[in-house]
């Protein structure tokens, strides 16, 4: 291993994702240098999967640096958190101004913001890139969401766009925005993924418990849905999961313990939504649904004490209509979820001062990643028509779709409520829809309550303004006729 600077690209971290991305890049004609903390893994990789390909290995950081063409392009695919900082610190003494470090791990965007600042000060171009698509995606075309130092983009664009998934011939990778924007968008992607998965689970539960469908029948429904507006990776794998039998001929999925795990990216999205004051209710409910599922012991106990309605065998009279309604509920809820996701991204752009590329974000999610779907093609189209679209729900295509779907959606939520089958995401999507389309909400009463007990003040509707209730003024009323007459000074709206 004594070549000079031969490699176009360096990658540190030879776990599955790292190995697959290297193989993918080599298949596209790039020479890649591989390195890993446990160096024996480099040797093993070179002698096996990487054999015969344009891949070289490094035995140390110094060796790794020597083998990279300048400006050096170094991608890290190591465990998120401290390991990323350790490696950056190991690399720094060997790097020159203009070298590029790309963190392709699942880093939390505030960490990426911090690293971007620290490295910018040292003249190193730092890129935080979302990578989605799992092992298969990494190998044959992931969705890549790079953000950070934009000067790095011309140097990595070719390699990123050639290894990325393609959708209608276009790469599912483009520049997202500054600082931690790439990892931010990946975080929202994961939140949306939580939502999509929970929606599908609710549809399955309704078919199973109210429709009394077998898993095979449910699989067939998903197969049909996968040919229509819901055509997507997650619907496709659900179809296959439900058709998969264990060795005894029974559906394997029914033997799986019903407590969901999570690695935290959905939770990050929900927390960020609360921080930014954005009603991203569907992702929030999807995260909470996982939390509730984890309370298995308590649920089993409660199931013996807390009764609900009986579900009669003939609860569903017209199976075709039932399935059609459910499809509409799923479609409409999904539109709400994506509208909420883009609302969050829009608010983040404002709050953090990022200029984000909405059509590119939709295109990046169109292929390669877990939420890839035909539906994202429509979102890409909508944002290309109008990149500053206020809200997806205000775009004609999605507005029409939701309006058309709402009858089936309302019937589905009604049915589930009547028979006691929990639908947190279907229901919250509908509640959001009804709230969003309400010119008047009961927050007037809420403001009155706040003013009553805390002198928090309120504003008056312009058309109701009068001498005693002036417009554009914070007003406090002495609701009880006794007590103080001062407004709260602690409240800062």
Nearer of residues 61 and 292 to ligand 2AM, judged by Cβ: 61
Q: Within 10 Å of residue 218's Cβ, how many Cβ atoms?
A: 25
Query: Residue 288 in 3-state DSSP?
Result: helix
- Interacting residues of 305 by C-beta distance below 8 A, sequence separation 6+: none
Shortest CB 41 distance to ligand 2AM, Å: 5
End-to-end, the C-alpha distance of the chain in Å comes to 64
**Cβ-based nearer residue to ligand 2AM, 63 or 474:** 63
Of the candidates 88, 95, 92, the one whose C-alpha atom is nearest the C-alpha of residue 115 is 88
Q: How far is the CB of 40 from ligand 2AM (least distance, A)?
A: 9
Contact (Cβ atoms closer than 8 angstroms) between residue 441 and residue 435: yes
Distance CA 250, CA 239 (A): 15
Give me 65's structure tokens.
């640096």
Q: 75 has which bridge partners?
A: 11, 102
**Contact, 437 vs 358, CB < 8 A?**
no
Instruction: For residue 101, give Cα distances in angstroms to 34, 91, 285, 310.
Output: 14, 9, 36, 59
Nearer to ligand 2AM, 37 or 94 (CB): 37
Least Å distance, CB 68 to ligand 2AM, is: 18
Q: Which is nearer to ligand 2AM, 78 or 316 (CB)?
A: 78
CB 423 within 8 A of CB 202: yes
Query: Applying CB under 6 A, which residues contact ligand 2AM?
Result: 13-15, 36-38, 41, 78-79, 83, 86-87
CB of 76 to ligand 2AM, least distance (A): 9
**C-beta of 17 vs 176, nearer to ligand 2AM:** 17
Among residues 186, 285, 334, 378, which one is catalytic? 186
* Residue 186: active-site member: yes
Report the nearest approach of ligand 2AM to the CB of residue 187 (Å). 19
Q: Between residues 25 and 218, which has the closer beta carbon with respect to ligand 2AM?
A: 25
- CB 38 → ligand 2AM: shortest distance, Å? 3
Spot the catalytic one: 193, 202, 327, 378: 193
Distance CA 130, CA 321 (A): 40
Residue with Cβ nearer ligand 2AM (37 or 319):
37
Q: How far apart are CA 45 and CA 41, in angstroms?
A: 6
Range list of H helices, 108-180: 109-121, 134-140, 153-163
Establish how many alpha carbons lie within 13 A of residue 440's alpha carbon, considering only the half-sphere containing its beta carbon.
3
Spell out a b/e string for 322-354, using b for 16 or more CB atoms within 10 Å of the CB, else e: bbebbbbbbbbbbbbbbbbbbbbbbbbbeebeb
Q: DSSP states of 26-46 as a string?
A: HHTT--EEEE-SSTHHHHHHH
Centre a 10 Å sphere on the Cβ of residue 42 and count the other Cβ atoms it contains. 24
Binding residues for substrate: 106, 132-134, 189-190, 194, 263, 290, 450, 456
Closest distance of CB 91 from ligand 2AM, Å: 11
- Looking at the annotation, which residues are catalytic? 186, 193
């Amino acid at each position: 291993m004594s070549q000079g600077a031969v490699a176009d690209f360096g990658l540190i971290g030879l776990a599955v994702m790292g190995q697959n991305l290297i193989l993918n890049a080599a298949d596209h004609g790039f020479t890649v240098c591989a390195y890993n903390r446990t160096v024996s893994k480099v040797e093993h990789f070179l002698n096996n999967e990487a054999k015969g390909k344009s891949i070289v290995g490094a035995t140390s950081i110094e060796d790794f640096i020597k083998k990279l063409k300048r400006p050096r392009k170094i991608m890290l695919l190591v465990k998120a958190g401290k390991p990323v900082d350790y490696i950056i610190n190991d690399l720094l003494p060997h790097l020159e101004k203009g070298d590029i470090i790309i963190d392709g791990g699942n880093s939390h965007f505030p960490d990426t913001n911090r690293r971007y600042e620290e490295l910018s000060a040292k003249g190193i171009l730092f890129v935080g890139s979302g990578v989605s698509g799992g092992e298969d995606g990494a190998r044959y075309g992931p969705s890549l969401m790079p953000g950070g130092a934009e000067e790095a983009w011309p140097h990595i664009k070719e390699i990123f766009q050639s290894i990325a998934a393609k959708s209608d011939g276009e790469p599912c990778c483009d520049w997202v925005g500054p600082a931690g924007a790439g990892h931010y968008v990946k975080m929202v992607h994961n939140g949306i993924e939580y939502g999509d998965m929970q929606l599908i689970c609710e549809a399955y539960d309704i078919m199973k418990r109210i429709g009394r469908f077998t898993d095979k029948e449910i699989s067939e429904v998903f197969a049909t849905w996968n040919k229509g507006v819901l055509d997507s990776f997650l619907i496709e794998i659900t179809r296959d999961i439900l058709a998969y039998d264990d060795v005894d001929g029974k559906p394997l999925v029914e033997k799986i313990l019903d407590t969901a795990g999570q690695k935290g990216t959905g939770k990050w999205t929900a927390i960020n939504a609360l921080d930014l004051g954005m009603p991203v209710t569907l992702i929030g409910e999807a995260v909470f649904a996982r939390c509730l599922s984890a309370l298995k012991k308590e649920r089993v106990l409660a199931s013996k004490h807390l009764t609900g309605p009986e579900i009669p065998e003939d609860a569903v009279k017209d199976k075709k209509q039932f399935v059609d309604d459910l499809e509409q509920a799923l479609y409409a809820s999904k539109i709400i979820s994506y509208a909420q996701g883009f609302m969050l991204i829009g608010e983040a752009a404002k709050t953090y001062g990022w200029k984000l590329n909405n059509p590119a974000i939709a295109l990046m999610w169109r292929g390669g990643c877990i939420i890839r779907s035909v539906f994202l093609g429509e979102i890409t189209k909508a944002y290309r028509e109008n990149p500053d679209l206020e809200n997806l729900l205000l775009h004609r295509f999605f507005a029409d779709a939701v309006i058309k779907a709402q009858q089936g959606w309302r019937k589905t939520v009604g049915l589930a409520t009547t028979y006691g089958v929990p639908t947190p995401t279907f229901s919250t999507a509908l509640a959001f829809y009804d709230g969003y389309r309400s010119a008047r909400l009961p927050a007037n009463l809420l403001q009155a309550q706040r003013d009553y007990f805390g002198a928090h003040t309120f504003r008056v509707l312009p058309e109701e303004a009068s001498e005693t209730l002036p417009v554009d003024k914070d007003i406090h009323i002495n609701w009880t006729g006794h007590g103080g007459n001062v407004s709260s000074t602690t409240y800062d709206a």
